Amino acid sequence: MNNHGSLPYKKLLLCALAGFSSGMPFFFFISLLPLWLRSYHTVFHIWQFFSNFPAAYAGIYIEPLREALHGFYYTAPAIALKYIGFLNFLQFSYIIKFLSAPIVDRFCPFGIGRRRGWMLLTQICLFVVMTAYGQIDPSKQLNLVVVLSFLLILFSATQDIALDAFRREILMDAELGLGNAVAVTAYRFSMLVPGSLALVLSDYLQWSYVFFITALFMLVGLLLIVLCHEPTHHMLPTAQTWRETFWTPWQEYWQRRGKQQFIYMLVFLILYKLGDTMAVALANIFYHDMGYSRTLIGEVAQYAQITASIIGGLLGGSLMLKIGINRALWLFGIVQCTSILGYVWLSSFGYFEVIGHTQVIYLAAVVTYEYLGIGLGTAAFIAYMARESSSSHAGAQLAFFSAVAAIPRAFISPAAGWLVEQYGYYHYFWICFFLAIPGMLILFKIAPREEVALGKQNFERGKNDTN
């Protein structure tokens, strides 16, 4: 028997464990790997990765490709920002994960349930991949870095399908705001491991030990598997055909919401968090290039991120219980948008020759405000996606929504390094601010003024129905 409905505190614990497990590989990729690569004197020869394929692959002759990528081959004290940024293209797996989501909905690894089985499989794979980074030298084995990073994102994306669907299936509609806020808070809390603990350890230990210790925290996900029961309500029978498996989730959404609203939603998912995604794409490197040490980044910036994200997530979840998701999208979005201006202000100082108490306070204040906005905005954003999904098709629909939301991270963020090298950090953060404004404007279609009050009423009605 499923007891989640009678144990709200347990639901919150499960949401927290799910959020932590989801965040670990993502922040490992965006926080730890860039500084790891930056710490090496590297010969960057990415074209050799392609040269391992036959001379004519997919109808493309290798020599023109080699010539086109000739600029990727050079020796430098560290890998250039634009090349580190290009690794973000590997996040393409987050975008296409909706294609595999119906498969995750259909099959049950290890015979322990379709959600718990995929959780276990992906968490084991993630542990192995994270540990493997410590066994290679990126200056000599950059090809392996690319391969491992691809596998890391692939397993992370697959894990997210199962975790998002699990969270949607155990939460009632009225619980989505707080439940997802707790998940977001734990997601951000996981940043402490690869973004803080690992950075501090890297100043004292070899990278092989750093990666192994970091990977151990993926085992926290096993606690989720032990504590949870496979959701039994809103379960679909195994699809009889592949057409049914892939088509039914979208047919259900269009019938429920309409195709016009579907288009508005897609635009919203891409634009709402575009600005802050760009702003934090190279955050750790920005702090480093401002003159802050890795230890200081780990001790100050990362803890400020975590604290602000926790406050933002929990505050956002609590407020959504009172004001509803629509109104939260407006209020939290304003904070999220204006918080980027803190980076504009900090970058205006240029490189700090000396890092004193004043500079540390600057860093802590800017990071705190930025991640308070991110925590609030993300809480509302994820709650909105959960509300738009059907509990009976949660895996496929949430995977698609989150995949669309990942487009800026995979296709636009890689340009961050190039933009910084072209215009400098100051003008780059102004660009990020202006990119955040369209995401607010689309709210006139997603949550128009006349629907904000209505949304609150509907939310309160759903909460009463749950009670």
Q: Which residue has the higher pLDDT, 57 or 169?
A: 169
pLDDT at residue 84 above 70? no
Which range of 9-13, 97-101, 135-139, 343-347 scores highest in mean pLDDT? It is: 343-347
Which tokens belong to 132? Answer: 């493997």
From the options 3.40.50.970, 1.10.10.10, 1.10.260.40, 1.20.1250.20, give the CATH code of 4-41+77-466. 1.20.1250.20
Cβ–Cβ contacts within 10 Å for residue 168, how many? Answer: 25
- Residue 349 to residues 19, 65, 355, 363, Cα–Cα distance (Å): 36, 41, 12, 12
pLDDT at residue 153 above 60? yes
Sign of CA dihedral 47, 52, 55, 60: negative
pLDDT at residue 10 above 50? yes
Specify whether the CB–CB gap between 253 and 262 falls below 8 A. yes
Specify whether the CB–CB gap between 336 and 425 falls below 8 A. no
- pLDDT per position as a tens digit, 112-152: 777 888 999 999 999 999 999 999 887 777 788 888 999 99
- pLDDT per position as a tens digit, 376-398: 888 889 888 888 877 666 667 77
Label residue 67 exposed, middle or buried (CB < 10 Å: 0-12, 13-18, 19+): exposed
Q: What are phi and psi of 7, to 5 degrees?
A: -130, 70
Q: What is the C-alpha separation between 370 and 281, in angstroms, rounded?
A: 13
**In the predicted model, what is the mean pLDDT of residues 148-163?**
90
Q: Number of helices (H) and strands (E), helices first, in the chain?
A: 26, 4
Specify the pLDDT at position 224: 85
Which tokens belong to 198? Answer: 């690992």
DSSP string, 383-440: HHHHHHS-GGGHHHHHHHHHHHHTHIIIIITTHHHHHHHHHHHHHHHHHHHHHHHHHH
pLDDT band, very low/low/confident/very high, at 451 (cuts 50, 70, 90): low
Specify the pLDDT at position 410: 66
pLDDT at residue 420 above 80? yes
Q: What is the C-alpha separation between 229 and 180, in angstroms, rounded?
A: 19
- Kindly give the pairing relationship between strand 42-44 and strand 74-76: antiparallel
Beta strands in 30-115 (DSSP E): 42-44, 56-57, 60-61, 74-76
Which tokens belong to 410? Answer: 């995979």
Tokens 């922040």 — which residue?
27
Q: What is the C-alpha separation between 194 and 31, in angstroms, rounded?
A: 7
Specify whether the CB–CB gap between 249 and 424 falls below 8 A. no
Specify whether the CB–CB gap between 93 and 150 falls below 8 A. yes
Specify the pLDDT at position 21: 92
- pLDDT per position as a tens digit, 430-447: 999 999 999 999 999 888
Which tokens belong to 426? Answer: 């100051």
Q: What angle do CA 253, 259, 265 make, to 5 degrees?
A: 80
Q: What are phi and psi of 280, to 5 degrees?
A: -100, 5
